[in-house]
Amino acid sequence: MRGVRWWRQLSLLVLAFMWWGCGSAEAHQKGNDVCQAKRLDAGTVDAAIRFRQHGRNFVEVSSDMTVEIPAREWSMANQLTFSEKSADYQKAMRCLLRGPDQALRTTEWRPTDPVATSNGDRVKVVYKAITWIRAPQDYRLGPWEIKKPAGKRKKWEVFLRPTTLRESRWSVEAELGDLDFEHYGQTSFVDKATVMWTTQKPADICPGKCIEVDLPWQRSFPLLWDQSIWKPAGIATWWVCASGVLALAAQRARRPYGSPAAVAPGPVRRVGAFGGEQGLAQPVLQWALLSGAVALTLLLFLREPEPENPRSHMLVCIAVGLTLVLVARPWHRPAAPRAPVSDDWARRHRRQAYTVTGFASLMAAAGILVVLGHGLFDLPESLVLRKPKAPDVRGEVGYILMGLTTVWLWLAAMAAWTWRFAREGGLVPAGWSRKWDDKPVLCVMVVSALLGMVAGGLLWSLLWATENQWKRATWLIDPSASTGRGNYLGKSLANFSSTELTWIFAYSWFLAGIALLALLKLHFTAQRARVSSRMEYIPFGPDRPDVLLVAALFSLTVGMRGARFASYNAQYGIWFVLNILSLLTVLAAGRRWSVLSRTGYLFNMHRPGANGRGELMDKVHQYRNLNHQLKLADQGRANGVTCEQLEEQLRGLRRWLVERCLKKSPPCQISILDVALAWGPETHWWPNAVRGARLAFCFGAPASFILLYVESNDRYNGQQLPFEPTAVPNLVAGFITFQAAWAGAGFVLGALWRLLPGRQSAVRAWSLTFAYIMPAVLAALLTEFIDSSPTMLLLFSLVMLFILTLTGLWMDTLTLKEERQYWPSRFALLISIHRLRGLSGQVAYLLAQVAVVAGILKGFIKIP
């Protein structure tokens, strides 16, 4: 009896073990197929690939994929409707779209996350991806793979290679636009722009390639251009032209001011920058030569984004940065002519030199320590980790220290040259200069801290963009299988300096603009000193040699910013020269039609020592009152004054104007008010230029935000923004450069205010805008020829015209600021000034500009 029970218990134990083994095998099998891939075969897929090329710099390729899965067939279908951040959603979406694929998607951008909707029986998922063919490489987006031309093959090949849903039924559509193509597979519909395949498996649709696409030359040329030597050569032409203008300006500054005929006999008097090697001419000439040499160095050594041996590159960058700081000599200040050098002045000079040299050398030593002492930071000799290994904490500290010190040196070099030009040119407030003389250590520490914050901001932008790039490339990849994040970050940190130094030097054209401003200020100072000492007539504007500097400043600030919207960078140098020639042409053609040139020289008004301006303003006030009374007399409200008496007084004012014209009688249509408004609010042209720059800077702030928004609203720029290492710095620098463009345009308008044609300020604004439009028309024709969009050029031109028109109207109110007390507001004064000059027409003109700009902006916002 006991034996029977024992056998029974043994049999039950064997059955239980067999049941457990079967269950474990079934669970193991389910674990190997957690995605239940076979159950996805019941789904249907609609896939589309679209090529867009018109009005774009690069061919845009977009993929739209719509998947419908029966909820009863696939257990994870309902998880697709969960939150995008939940683990269940990520798992289900990975199984649906990626499956076992763990490859990085570096060429795919997604405008939005896939959207899943459920109607009870089926779950619908819409998956969109986009890319741009901007380099000869392979591209992967959605279920599509695009192969670059290789060997003798000249066409791009398009393959349908999904990683999941390979046994599902697919309906595929390819929109090729106007591209030349050849199709393969069993198509259901074909026309000149579209190919369709319906209700087939991917292997049946395209056993091999689906389409061969031939890009037009307008889109193939940029791909070849970026890889050719002509791209850096085109950039170099800009530096050659800018350096040439600075060199000419420096040579002009070395000469005595004024023409030989105008220089009085006796010893030559030199003022400021005209004191030979002690003046501003020498550093300007040095920067003209150094900037070209540094640009060539960057083009040769930092052309590759990820150099094979960054060690030599880092040593060159650190040495160049330190050299730029020391050659700038921000402590230098020329002593007064024929003045003995005091001990106090020499002591301050030495202390400033030691402070700057010490700080710069300390930073350079810190960077060199990482490069030469790489072992201290557990870094290889080449500074790049070749194996898929993440740098440890010491390695990251080494990368950050090396990058920050190098970037700081270059920022310090730009600051040193800026200070040198601004201080010697008289652009720095006297209080700042005194603070620098008294407390150089404190000043250097404050500036160093500010530059450190800027370098830290650039580093943060790089880390932020690198993290976004990694998340985009590893989207839906299993975190346990996605290795290499640390190595990816280490490569970005190793190339931090190469990326940022190119960006920093790209904006060094600000230094050329500051140098030109400093030279113009010193020329004006010498011009005013000569006029005051010899009792000569105050000139209407800059002398002829200085007009070239004004034109170069206009091209640097306004023209080069507009060149950003004009296709390839190869034409930067040509654009720079064309803007200078255009402004000189407009000025030469319009000089004879300006108001003051048609009235001759009003010696009582602008001769030194005479109160001509006050007398002119009194006559203008009488002229305006007489016209007002004459209008009342025509309406029958004369109050005892006849029209004949008023007209006689107006004829007396006309005789006063004629008597003060030395060469010729002014035309009848030019009145005393025209002369006053043409003279501007200030006595000399430089204060007029400063007024115009300040006004345009203020009026242009809203326009800068609008233009930045329009640029960011572009589909390509908007997608690239979170993934570019210099994206955030570019936004800040873009706003500053836009503001510099408006200020530069206002400065040139004020400097040439008395030389530009037209009786109304709006005509002067249009004349200056026309100088920009002439090269812009050529650039627009080029963009149309290469099938790109010139809309940004048009928008920039209209915005500049609007800002200059507002600046001119405001300068009119400043010209008659003495009459501000008679009017309740500045706008009322403006109405009174232009009552006889068609204010309603100018208002309608401004409103028309606003309407055109609004229309263009509306078109930009509607761009898909």
**68-98: pLDDT as tens digits:** 988 888 888 888 888 888 888 888 888 888 8
Sheet-wide strand order for 189-190: 115-118, 122-133, 59-70, 44-52, 169-175, 194-200, 189-190
pLDDT of residue 621: 75
Q: What is the DSSP string of 248-291?
A: HHHHHHHSPSS-TTTSPSSSPP--GGGSGGGSSHHHHHHHHHHH
Element (H, E) at 33: none
258-262, 351-355, 402-406: which range is least confident on average?
A: 258-262
* φ and ψ of 199, to 5 deg: 50, 60
Q: Angle at Cα 12 formed by Cα 10 and Cα 15, nearest 5°?
A: 110
What pLDDT does 504 receive? 86
pLDDT-derived band at 259, boundaries 50, 70, 90: very low
Given this model, what pLDDT does residue 276 score? 35
pLDDT band, very low/low/confident/very high, at 799 (cuts 50, 70, 90): confident
Residue 300's pLDDT is what? 66
Q: Mention every residue, 6+ apart, whose C-beta is less than 8 A from residue 603.
A: 537, 610, 612, 660, 662
User: Can you tell me the mean pLDDT for 113-141?
Assistant: 88
Q: Which residue from 211, 181, 185, 184 is spatially nearest to 193, judged by alpha carbons?
A: 181
More confident residue, 415 or 476: 415
Q: 303 in helix, strand or coil?
A: coil
Q: Scanning the structure block, which residue is given the tokens 């061969």? A: 212
pLDDT, tens digit (0-9, with 9 covering 90-100), for 29-39? 343 467 888 88
Contact status, residue 196 vs residue 72, Cβ threshold 8 Å: no
> Is the separation of the CB atoms in 82 and 89 below 8 Å?
yes
Q: Which residue would you say has higher pLDDT here, 149 or 230?
A: 149
CA distance 491 to 470: 12
Confidence (pLDDT) at 856: 55
Amino acid identity of residue 680, one-letter, is G
Instruction: Measure the CA–CA gap between 442 and 449, rounded to whole angstroms.
Output: 11
Q: What is the pLDDT of residues 711-770, one digit of tens each?
A: 888 778 788 888 888 888 989 998 999 999 999 999 999 999 988 888 778 888 888 988
User: Does residue 139 sit in helix, strand or coil?
Assistant: strand
Q: Select the highest-mean-pLDDT range: 63-67, 133-137, 165-169, 830-834.
A: 63-67
- Residues comprising the chain, all counted: 864
State both tokens at 864: 């898909």
Q: pLDDT class for 263, splitting at 50, 70, 90?
A: very low
- Asked whether the beta carbons of 61 and 130 are under 8 A apart, the reply is yes
Average pLDDT on 627-636 reads 69
pLDDT tens-digit series, residues 828-857: 566 556 654 454 555 555 566 566 566 555
Mean local confidence (pLDDT), 207-227: 78
Residue 254, pLDDT score? 63
**190 contacts 183 by C-beta, under 8 angstroms:** yes
Distance (Å, whole) CA 100 – CA 34: 11
Query: Which residue carries 């950039």 as its tokens?
Result: 235
Sign of torsion over alpha carbons 642, 648, 654, 657: negative
- Continuous segment of H or E residues that includes residue 837: none
Integer Cα distance of 287 and 684 in angstroms: 30
In the chain, % of residues over pLDDT 70: 76
**Sign of the torsion angle spanned by Cα atoms 644, 649, 652, 656:** negative
Phi, psi for residue 697 in degrees, rounded to 5: -60, -45
Q: What DSSP designation does 109 have?
A: B
Helix axes 496-506, 485-494, angle to 10 degrees: 40
3-class DSSP assignment, residue 411 = helix
pLDDT, greater one: 547 or 278: 547
User: For 667-707, how does the pLDDT look when each residue is reduced to its tens digit (9 = 90+)?
Assistant: 777 777 778 888 888 888 899 999 999 999 999 999 999 88
Per the CB < 8 A criterion, the answer to whether 556 and 242 are in contact is: yes
What angle is formed at CA 721 by the lines to CA 717 and CA 726, rounded to 5 degrees? Answer: 115
Mean pLDDT of the chain: 78
Average pLDDT, integer, range 233-253: 74
616 phi and psi angles, rounded to 5 deg: -65, -40
User: Which runs of consecutive H residues, i.e. helices, occur in 537-681?
Assistant: 544-554, 560-563, 572-590, 595-599, 603-606, 612-634, 643-659, 672-679
- Token pair belonging to 53: 């090329």
Higher pLDDT, 206 or 628: 206
DSSP string across 432-443: HHHHHHH-HHHH
Q: Which pLDDT band holds residue 26 (cuts at 50, 70, 90)?
A: very low
CA 420 to CA 283: how far, in whole Å? 8
Q: Report which listed range, 57-66, 444-453, 817-826, is most confident.
A: 444-453
Please state the separation of Cα 209 from the chain's center in Å.
Answer: 41
Region label for 144, one of left (φ > 0), alpha (ψ between -120 and 50) or beta (otherwise): beta
Report yes or no: 460 and 467 within 8 Å, Cβ to Cβ: no
What local confidence, expressed as pLDDT, does residue 184 receive? 83
Record the pTM: 0.84
479 three-state secondary structure: coil
The structure tokens listed for 316 are 């060159």
**Chain CA centroid to CA 668, Å:** 48
**Is the C-alpha dihedral spanning 387, 392, 396, 397 positive or negative?**
negative
What phi and psi values does residue 437 have, to the nearest 5 degrees? -70, -35
Cα gap 746→800, rounded to integer Å: 10
What is the rounded average pLDDT of the residues 576-603?
80
Separation CA 436–CA 442 (nearest Å) = 8
pLDDT at 477 over 60: yes
DSSP state of 376: G
Which of residues 10 and 136 earns the better pLDDT score? Answer: 136
